[in-house]
Amino acid sequence: MTPAVIKLESGANVSLTANSPLLKEIIVGFGWNIISSNGPVVELVPSAIMCDANGAAVSDEHVVFFNQLATPDDAVRYVTKDDKEQIEVNLSRIPEDVKKIALIVYVDPDIRKPGNFGSVRNAYVRVADREDNDIVRYDIPQADIEVTAMVFGEIYNHNGQWKFRAVGQGYKTGLLGVAKDFKVNV
């Protein structure tokens, strides 16, 4: 019998490995609905940033999205599956200097200008085991119409355990604001 999925509220966290110490590979799934309008449809892009102890990207090569499909160590990979998109994480391959992986979704600025989360509904992030059994799910609260990027959640290492934190932090400054905060070149 598959255990019940843990549903989190903003700011809450849960250990991924405390009850499953053999858990080595996880799937991070993203999903949402877009309300149709008379203009171009908003195109959302999920991404993952591997961060050091200071919360900065380890390097520009440690950012995964549709144009950079894997980190150099192959610990984090971008794939398209049943959800809108997925990020696969091999916890055993994550370098020791990586303390968290920020899970970010942003409005693609090249598809629709000025796009925002105003037409996005039912957004979520979920973490599942390799067999795609959900472990945790975070339903993202409705974002302010000015939000153009958002940290959905983060996977982080605390005292040797991998945990997931529900974040839901919106950016009105889009991808550039995310890049500034995580010290990434875009």
Contact between residue 168 and residue 149 where contact means Cβ atoms under 8 Å apart: no
The 10s digit of each residue's pLDDT in 73-82 is 999 999 987 6
Q: What percent of the chain has pLDDT above 70?
A: 92
End-to-end CA distance of the chain: 44
Instruction: List, in order of start, the domains of the chain with CATH numbers.
Output: 6-182 (2.60.60.30)
Predicted model pTM: 0.93
**Smallest Cα–Cα separation from 16: which of 121, 167, 130?**
130
